[in-house]
Amino acid sequence: MGIRTVVAGAALLVLGAGLASAKDRVVIGMQAEPPVLDPTINAAAAIDSIVSGNVFESLTLIDDNGGVTPGLAESWTVAPDGRSVTFRLPAKATFHNGRALTSDDVRLTFARAMAPDSVNPSKKIFQPIEAVETPDARTVVIRLKQPNSIFLFSMAAGDASILAMETVEQNRTRPVGSGPFRFKEWVKGDRVVLERYPEHRNAARIRMREAVFKFIPDASAQVAAMLAGDVDATPVIAAPESLSRFQRDPRFKVVVGTTEGEVILALNNARKPFDDLRVRRAVSHALDRKAIIDGAMFGYGTPIGSHFPPHHPAYVDLTGRYPHDVARAKALLAEAGLPDGFEATLKPPPFSYARRGAEIVASQLGKAGIRVRIEPIEWAQWLDVVYKQRNYDMTIVAHTSPYDMDNYVRGKSYYYGYQNAALDALMKRIDVETDEKRLFALYGDAQRMIAEDAVHGFLFQLAKTGVYAAGLRGYGANEPIVQTELWQWWWEN
């Protein structure tokens, strides 16, 4: 499944009418149900889709083009040496339990995330922090060990949500934040409902009274729900083959944008035979990305050759590094002592790109002698068996966090099972480089190194294929960070 002095003032607009909802209510279709509702303890993107920026607030926000804008912090100043950032909090921020939010809440939130026993899924974003100081109730000074190229971006992550310590135990199922929407109910297996928080400092400008996140795992059922008017929006529809139908229907608007989701055929580098570079390269040569994108996504997706989004200015096109070449794949397997190929399991989670892609990938690998047994698993199982236990050969998943190449330096404790001291050193240089030209060059070096090691089979960048009721407004086309920006949504009269 992860990252910018500016003054607050986001446009929060007016309302109108939709298919499933009244003028101040919206129903949003989602394929995956989150395992919990606390983004600071679990990496599932479905959590952030519901609560990040809505129930919980982080110090910054990311706009539709990837720029950093004010979030909870109404302004900030970066020291000339880049070693500290001073954030100014709003005068009237409160948590949903009615308590005032102060700088101490930021300090305690970050202390919890940085603690040795922290289970925060992105502890890495707090590693640059040396100290958090609170000179007064509205001022937070974060001192850094060294300048950090993406620190302000990282502070927008759901993992950096500011919490009330007295409610952290209930956030798994009844989250309490400071955002423009508060938790109303969670009907397991069906929906999560949020309602506008009337005491929020921007409540008068937020036009949605209620938002229902409806869980519809089946792709065809998603389409049926949209067509029936039971759902107003499906920001990432699981059936891309249906988009042309929605485009012809004046009741809907189809919006195709970009995401940070690199879809990979993840290989367990710590498990034989994937610990052999020749085997991993054989896998890469056996893959035909175009056929996968056409077959699984009906052409929606951009081929990638490493772990980096094509829309980023530092992107390097490495899709030609391993051209589709079955004969070369067989030769590499023979060199690795596997002239007859081998058997492996592929455990796709329940997302359509993964399940549909698995069938095509298995067929392609089979032609090279890699006999694949597909073992579909549910998302909760994937998070446990694959992500936590690292009990898998191959899986297909989209990594949706921005700037997430640093997953490759997490060693064999991470589910990749990959380790490369040279890449570790390179990523440390990236962390502290503040000159954009040099930074982009280093990103290019990292992309090449990951591709040369064929850590995974790199497939495509996931498109954001959104379908919305024609009268709905305020949503973004792109997904530079996982969130549903309800505070900007409205119905047109």
What CATH number has the domain bearing residue 336?
Answer: 3.10.105.10
The answer to whether the CB of 54 falls within 8 A of the CB of 180 is yes
Same domain, 161 and 295: no
Q: For the residues 31-45, what does the mean pLDDT come to? A: 95
Question: Is 493 inside a domain boundary?
Answer: no
How large is the C-alpha radius of gyration of the chain?
Answer: 23
Establish if 209 belongs to a structural domain.
no
Extract the tokens encoding 397: 């998943």
Residue 47 predicted with pLDDT over 50:
yes
Please write the tens of the pLDDT for every residue from 383-414: 999 999 999 999 999 999 889 998 999 898 99
Please indicate, yes or no, whether residues 160 and 265 belong to a single structural domain of this protein.
Answer: no
Dist. CA 122–CA 158, nearest whole Å: 9
205 neighbors 12 (Cβ within 8 angstroms): yes
The predicted pLDDT at position 85 comes to 98
- The pLDDT of residue 468 is 98
Q: Which of these, 305, 230, 232, lies nearest to 457 by C-alpha position?
A: 305
Residue 384 lies in a domain: yes
Indicate whether 280 and 148 sit together in one domain: no
Output the CA torsion sign for 468, 473, 478, 479.
negative
The neighbour count for residue 210, using CB atoms within 10 Å, is 17
Q: Is residue 280 part of a domain?
A: yes
Whether residue 22 is predicted with pLDDT greater than 70 in this model: the reply is no
Q: Is the pLDDT of residue 2 over 60?
A: no
Between 72 and 410, residue with greater pLDDT: 72
Q: Tell me the residue type at 112.
A: R
Question: Phi, psi (5° rounding) for residue 449?
Answer: -65, -45
Q: Please indicate, yes or no, whether residues 274 and 377 belong to a single structural domain of this protein.
A: yes
**pLDDT of residue 63 exceeding 70:** yes
In a shared domain, residues 302 and 437: yes
Q: What is the pLDDT of residue 190?
A: 98
Lookup: tokens for 24: 């101040």
Last residue of one domain, picked from the residues 111, 142, 174: 174
Q: Domain range for residue 148? A: 38-174
Q: What are the two backbone dihedrals, phi and then psi, of residue 233, each rounded to the nearest 5 degrees?
A: -150, 140
Domain count, the chain: 2
Average model confidence (pLDDT) across the chain: 94
**Residue 217 pLDDT > 50, yes or no?**
yes
- Residue 321 in tokens: 């590094």
The per-residue pLDDT for range 192-208, each reduced to its tens digit, is: 999 999 999 999 999 99
Class of residue 216 by CB neighbours under 10 A (exposed 0-12, middle 13-18, buried 19+): buried
310 and 410 fall within a common domain: yes
Of 243, 182, 240, the C-alpha closest to 211 is 182
**Do 169 and 266 sit in the same domain of this protein?**
no
Residue that terminates a domain, selected from 156, 174, 192? 174
- Asked if residue 282 and residue 420 are part of one domain, the reply reads yes
Would the pLDDT of 285 be above 50?
yes
The H or E element containing residue 135 is strand 129-136
304/434 same-domain check: yes
Does the residue 230 lie in any domain? Answer: no
pLDDT score recorded for residue 6: 27
The answer to whether residue 245 is domain-embedded is no
* Helical (H) or strand (E) element with 461: strand 457-469
Residues 276 and 167 in one domain: no
Burial class (CB in 10 A: 0-12, 13-18, 19+), 339: exposed
Q: What is the CATH number of the domain that holds 111?
A: 3.90.76.10
Are 269 and 163 within one domain? no
The verdict on 142 and 280 lying in the same domain is no
pLDDT reported for residue 349: 97
Residue where one domain finishes, among candidates 109, 141, 174: 174
Position 21 scores a pLDDT of 67
Query: Does residue 26 belong to any structural domain of this protein?
Result: no
Is residue 200 situated within a structural domain?
A: no
> Nearest to residue 163, comparing CAs of 181, 177, 180?
177
pLDDT of amino acid 401? 87
What pLDDT is attached to residue 236?
Answer: 93
Q: What percent of the chain has pLDDT over 70?
A: 96
